[in-house]
Chains A and B, each alone.
Chain A
Amino acid sequence: MSDDAIVRIEGVSKHFQGGITAVDAVDLEIRRGEFFALLGPSGCGKTTLLRMIAGFEIPTEGRIVIDGEDMSTTPPNRRPINMVFQSYAVFPHMTVAKNVAYGLKVEGVAPAEIAPRVEEALALVKLDGFGARLPSQLSGGQRQRVALARALVKQPKVLLLDEPLSALDAKLREAMQLELVRLQHAVGITFVIVTHDQEEALSMADRIAVMDAGVIRQLATPEVLYEYPSSRFVADFIGKMNLFEGKVLTREGARLLLDVEGVGRISVPCEEEHSGAVGVAIRPEKLHLGREKPSDHSIALSGVVTNLAYFGESSQVFLTTEAGRSLMISQPNASRTTRSGPRKGETLWCWWAPADTLVLRA
């Protein structure tokens, strides 16, 4: 247990009526000042975990320690934590300034001190001059900023954000991702974000906990999560993946000799211990395409292009191998041409470096 943990979750479970276990014996440490993401499909328990940190749910088992103090049963209005809700929950009958001032008012802050702090908070979220407006006169993005200012003005130890970007359109969402990271650096407060969008988590968070069925599957930095997923679930959930069924034949020093369905025998570097049936995975962007078979030590397969999907910055090529396996290959559209790419029906080689191969427990 390190001292820099601002939130420590110790063996926390939450059972609901009807025998539903939303969170199952989770241990977790959120560090002071980090941007932390709880990522998972809907129903994985991430929102319940967030609500337990906020105080809206009481854990059935375990403890929640906030800045060294056990707050498992402390009501939300007495926790040094604030939350930005999915619906933003901006009070419709109060002006922007009154919304932001509300938390200070109920706390009993002197009125003379409230006004400058409200100004400061509104400036922080770039809403200066909006104080007199009513929420009904604001756009969705502006309302979210009000919710942010309202939480940040309280100077919480932790700011919780429940799916903060899900209601925004794509362009605004991207801008807001950068904005949230800027804000977090500016205020230095620990941010904990709940999201089902892996891109959001990867682009913003310092560390990500991937949750599924009430447990944390993997806790790592975005790079480690993407490049070294520890399970099939994480590999599949984060980004795109080509997955094969395989079998470990033998270990040769630092390498494993595998028999992979549809690929054949391959030797890949792998330090972890594996035996028996395994999953063998390779990311689409780690695959290369060409008309000639490569002469190096790459793992190569030939196949027919069955489908092409153009995304602008990259294209996805679907190749069906002789063994009938479909492979997804991501190709950056690095230069401005429309002619030289692969065509449907063409027979091509695709290959990858053995070191890019992931071996996952089956």
Chain B
Amino acid sequence: MRTPAAPLEYSRRMPLRLIFLVTTIFLYAPILILIAFSFSESRRLVNITGFTFKWYERAAGNDQLALAFANSLTIALINTLFATVLGALAALLLWRFRFPGKAAYEGAVALPIVVPEICMGVALYAFFARIGWPSDWIWPFNLSAIAAAHIAFSFPFVTMIVRARLANFNRELEESAKDLGASEWQVLRDIIVPFMKPGLIAGALLAFTLSLDDFVITFFTSGPNTITFPIKIYSMVRFSVTPEVNAASTVLIVITLFLTAFALWVQNRDKPGGSG
């Protein structure tokens, strides 16, 4: 005798199986098709013929695309560094201290997460134009406006992740370290930061991917000499969807997938054990 199917037992309820199938198709089929076409001989995106790496070679040989890719990576790295440090500091501040206007500050920090990106983009565009932020500096300093914009919108995500991690911190760990003779700085270095580590890594990876594939905000803050990878792809697509674009996008997907998998691995590795 089989037990009756539970309300959400996907594998045994026909309608749920159907929903599962359809969502999977709509989510992943376009990506898989894109990857498949990136290896296709034919220039026309109708059917897949043969197998080739030539679109990857072509993409790598495209100087403008390569520069856009280098720009994106540079911005992403700078953004990761600053957003992680700023985000972690804000998380510590909100977790640790009480101060006048804390609720308002907390709301303000979360604002970039909820404000529509298009608004952020327009606002930053107007802001940089108004203060006359120079965009003609030598590479990589000409990317400073985009990097600043990315830091501004991505550090709140780091704050949220690190703060969620800190919420599980057992205050007795801190007291115990002090009791054993540690100063405030030693407690921060030896106890609190190691505890924050999974949150910091996850936050850093999120900040990296947010920056790497950001389009809207970057679109408003980039100039003719500071094209990023997503923007370059967009401009190429406006002419036609070439297999070259497919190849470049596939590279981006692989990078993002790899980083996401790494972030998940880091988070799960530290899960068992708890706070002792």
Residues of A within 8 A of B (CB): 54-56, 75-78, 81-83, 85-93, 102-103, 106-107, 134-136, 143, 147, 150-151, 154
Residues of B within 8 A of A (CB): 170, 172-173, 175-183, 186, 190-191, 194-195, 197, 272-276
The smallest C-beta distance from A345 to any residue of chain B, in angstroms, reads 49
Closest 9 CB pairs of A and B: A136-B273, A103-B180, A89-B176, A90-B276, A89-B172, A85-B172, A135-B276, A93-B194, A106-B182
Look across to chain B and name the residue whose beta carbon is closest to the beta carbon of A90: B276
Look across to chain B and name the residue whose beta carbon is closest to the beta carbon of A137: B273
- Given A54-B179, A89-B172, A102-B180, 12 more pairs with CB closer than 8 A: A75-B178, A82-B179, A82-B180, A83-B179, A87-B276, A92-B173, A92-B273, A93-B194, A93-B195, A106-B182, A106-B186, A150-B180
Whether the Cβ atoms of B180 and A106 lie closer than 8 Å is yes
Whether the Cβ atoms of B272 and A136 lie closer than 8 Å is yes
Look across to chain B and name the residue whose beta carbon is closest to the beta carbon of A83: B179
17 A-B pairs in the complex with CB atoms less than 8 angstroms apart: A55-B179, A77-B180, A77-B181, A77-B183, A78-B181, A85-B175, A87-B276, A89-B170, A89-B172, A91-B177, A91-B191, A102-B182, A103-B181, A106-B182, A106-B186, A134-B273, A154-B180
The smallest C-beta distance from B197 to any residue of chain A, in angstroms, reads 8
* CB neighbours of B194 from chain A (8 A): 93
* CB neighbours of A92 from chain B (8 A): 173, 195, 273-276
Interface of B is mostly: helix
The smallest C-beta distance from B255 to any residue of chain A, in angstroms, reads 29
Cα-based distance from A83 to B178 in the complex (angstroms): 10
Whether the Cβ atoms of B172 and A136 lie closer than 8 Å is no
Whether the Cβ atoms of B170 and A154 lie closer than 8 Å is no
The smallest C-beta distance from A158 to any residue of chain B, in angstroms, reads 12
* CB neighbours of A86 from chain B (8 A): 172
The smallest C-beta distance from B184 to any residue of chain A, in angstroms, reads 9
* CB neighbours of B176 from chain A (8 A): 83, 85, 89, 91, 147
Cα-based distance from A153 to B77 in the complex (angstroms): 45
Look across to chain A and name the residue whose beta carbon is closest to the beta carbon of B174: A89
